[in-house]
A and B are shown apart, each in its own frame.
Chain A
Amino acid sequence: MNAVAPNSQTRPEMAATEAALPQSPEPGVAALRSPAGSDGPGPLAAWDYSGYPVVPARHPWRWVGTGLVALFVAAILWSLLTNPRWEWDVVAQWFTAESVLRGLGETLKLTAIAGTLGFILGFILALMRLSSSPLLVSVSWTFSWIFRSAPLLVQLLLWYNLGYLYEKVSLGILFTDVRFFEMQTTTLISQFAAAILGLTLNQAAYSSEIIRGGILAVDQGQLEAAAALGIPAWRRSTRIVLPQAMRSILPTAFNEIIGLVKGTSIVYVLAYSELFYTVQVIYNRTQQVLPLLLVATIWYVVITSVLSVFQYYIERHYSKGAVRTLPPTPLQRVKRFLSTHARTAEVAR
């Protein structure tokens, strides 16, 4: 039924046009003539529109749609602001509390360290996976396979309980009694170390695939040209391939980093006092569950927003040369919008 609809709509129109044509004395010319009511030229008249200002086309339905959406947004805001159960005063009270800020700092620290280490390890894993050595390829593949398969929660608990599996960690010569260094596992693997280990290894497994995808997207001719010029392999990867791969890596990589920001909340299972754990501790004491979850959420929104701004400018940086002219920054866009709209408003008047 739906598939037929466009046809059934077009046909009557076509019929109408066909019916209209024979009525005009010269069918060929009638088609060229401007619509009735306009002061356009006849078919053979000399014409000159150079003095005419252009009136932009109007979009009334666009305005209706915008109005409806605005109304809807206003309704949501209204309920958020007026429903007392959101307890905004409690949110405000805890939002900048010292313990919450300390938790926020821990969250940022975990994200920064695990994100950086994860992507560095991921880059190495991606290069291994793309190398021609079967050993490196299979090690990289197995790493990704294991760390993408095991739930992050399990990985974290496993690292934290490593002391149960191996009492001591030591550095020495294999199969001999020579030891250079020995330590109790439980002292070595603190909550922080377990959190960083778990998050980093997990992140590396995912980012290696993202980076590999980006590298594969770079034209083979680029590598060939670099090889033909005798540019060393490491320089080829970092200067020629990676910057071009960045264009396809960045959007997904920022997805991952933003995911990691919130993913750090999972380390609450280690009783590590990052943002989410801190908030939990507070609401277990005060019973103000929703407002405190809101505190955490707003902070996550703030971090994500800041990251999005970074993403915009970093992506813009790496699009150098890929587009003929760089897209304007938001600030430039606002300026342009204001200036063009001021002009069209004048013209319309």
Chain B
Amino acid sequence: MNQPAVPVLEPGATGTRGLVEIKNVHKAFGHVEVLRGVTLTVHPGEVVVILGPSGSGKSTLLRTINHLEKVDAGHIAVDGDLVGYRARGGKLHELREREILAQRTHIGMVFQSFNLFPHLTAVENIIEAPIYAQHRSKGQARARALELLERVGLSDKTDVYPRQLSGGQQQRVAIARALALEPKVVLFDEPTSALDPELVGEVLDVIRNLADSGTTLIVVTHEMGFARDVADRVVFMDQGQIVEEGTPLQIFGAPRHERTKAFLSKVIEPAFNL
């Protein structure tokens, strides 16, 4: 586990927040089974990186955690709270939209395509959810937003519209936006895949900072170097199932499964053979 040496980003995150339990989750789109019985426990403060070829169900798994996708079978809980349902009288009752929205404020999400609101400035993007989802005062939300922007290195860009920012800067604003809700866990869905190679580093640095602060992170990425350096645990998925999981040393150094070996040899070796 990654011990928070210096709490750089989220000092509020303690060891008891952010336990994510995924039990035997199934999900199909039409006849295509995207998730076929995924079970995974992410401990508070742990950084889990999910690897796998495209179509392996990584992103879908991430999206089931905050109920953007409803699971067909299986259960997900964050800190013991079932996501999307309430257990009562031996039955699972679907939550109403308002309750689901409340749950989502504990689960931050960062998207591949940033999805910043283009008609709002950086700071307006960040304060929207704290004010309207968590009912904080405008002044409080703004003060916190400015603090977060400073921490992601963008304190000079508060009143700038997203289109006036580079891709890397946009993604850093998006991370600040997710953190403004003080989530228990932050989900990253290929956060650097839409970026120019030279901008990837600045975003990864911010995520690395966050990892050091002890917030639970679940990261889907193709950045092998990042996975090796930052992950406490690497999970390899293929065809809707978890094939193998272990420390970065185990997965990158001595993968046990043929499928993992084949994938890693394709992703890593070409870079070294240059």
Contact = CB atoms under 8 A, between A and B. Distances in A.
B119 interface: yes
B119 A231 contact: no
Contacts of B104: 227-230
Contact of A222 (B115, B133, B134): B115
B163 A323 contact: yes
Contacts, number: 76
Interface in B93-132: 97-98, 101-105, 107, 109, 111, 113, 115-121, 128-129, 132
Nearest to B107: A228
A178 interface: no
Contact of B163 (A229, A233, A322): A322
A231 B128 contact: yes
B265 interface: no
Contacts of B66: 228
9 contacts: A221-B113, A221-B115, A228-B107, A230-B133, A231-B128, A231-B132, A240-B117, A240-B128, A243-B119
Contacts of B111: 221, 224-225, 228
Contact of B117 (A222, A228, A233): A222
Interface residue tally of chain A, by bracket?
A: 20 to 34
Nearest to B187: A228
A227 B68 contact: yes
Contacts of B161: 320-321
Given A228-B104, A231-B133, 7 more contacts: A230-B103, A232-B132, A233-B97, A244-B119, A320-B119, A321-B118, A322-B119
Contacts of B162: 321
A322 B118 contact: yes
B129 A231 contact: yes
Contact of B101 (A225, A230, A239, A321): A230
B94 to A, nearest CB: 14
Contacts of B164: 324
Nearest to A322: B118
A230 B102 contact: yes
Contacts of B116: 225
Nearest to A320: B119
B98 A229 contact: no
B176 interface: no
B233 interface: no
A343 interface: no
A306 B62 CA distance: 52
A272 B68 CA distance: 54
Contacts of A233: 97
Nearest to A321: B161
